[in-house]
Amino acid sequence: MIKTAIEKILSLGVYKEEGINERTYSNGPSGILPLKPPQAETLTINTLTGIKHYGPTENMMLHVFDHKTVHVIDKEFADNWLTRSIYLAAIHESPVFKFGQYMDVENFIIALQAMFVQDDTTALMLKLVGNIKDEGVSNFNDDGVTQVVTAKTGISLVNNVPVPNPVTLRPYRTFMEIEQPASTFVFRIKGNRGEAPMCALVEADGRMWRLKAIKFIKEWLEFEISGVKIIA
């Protein structure tokens, strides 16, 4: 209570500006604060193509911040505060698969089709998961690397089918203009007899795919935009 009252009294005090080392400071409720020059609001887009259309000039620089963010910034510092202006920010946004979480077969199939680049591996997994019966999953030969599941292969024929592990997949996790980096996943299925089976994918590459994505983004920018420095 006393602290709040003191801060209120200070906030009502006389406003002052003070120049120190060619920089201007002012008093305020939080103490002495720097007065920085105004900056334009950063434009935000969702694609790498938008950066190309923006047309960065030689006094700008492209900074690949991470696998889903690229900034168009000043090549040199903009002011005495050593602050760079961020003119444009390209930020990738898309639904991301819930790795490490078990989900029912129907939602797993939908997510596998909607959030991954389709190839032979996804086709194999869809065929396997789509034919799992509700009697449950057989884990008798589960050694941590290979599982055996009950999969329906015909109208009445049921076989034990090995679950492939690890699986190499390409989820949609970065800008759509570049190749989606592949990484390995542990594919797991569980469920007791009489219970609906549950499926999960667990990341198994130490997130090395992020470095691949940054590399692919930099290569795309270098090919599409010339005369601009690119750091990643």
Q: What is the pLDDT of residues 7-55, one digit of tens each?
A: 554 555 566 666 767 677 777 666 677 777 777 789 999 999 999 999 9
Q: What is the pLDDT of residues 172-224, one digit of tens each?
A: 999 999 999 999 999 988 876 667 788 999 999 988 999 999 999 999 999 99
Which pLDDT score is estimated for 196? 78
Which pLDDT score is estimated for 37? 73
- Percent of residues, the chain, with pLDDT higher than 90: 49
Q: What is the pLDDT of residues 110-120, one digit of tens each?
A: 999 999 999 99
Give the residue extent of every domain in the chain.
Answer: 2-34, 43-94+213-231, 103-205
Q: Minimal CA–CA distance to 187: which of 128, 133, 110?
A: 128
Which pLDDT score is estimated for 49? 97
Which pLDDT score is estimated for 176? 96
- For the cut 70, the answer to whether the pLDDT of residue 84 exceeds it is yes
Secondary structure (DSSP) of 163-189: EPSSEEE-B--S-TTSPPPPEEEEEEE
Question: What is d(CA 226, CA 55) in angstroms, rounded to the nearest whole number?
Answer: 10
Upstream peptide bond of 181 is cis (omega within 30 degrees of 0): no
Which pLDDT score is estimated for 41? 87
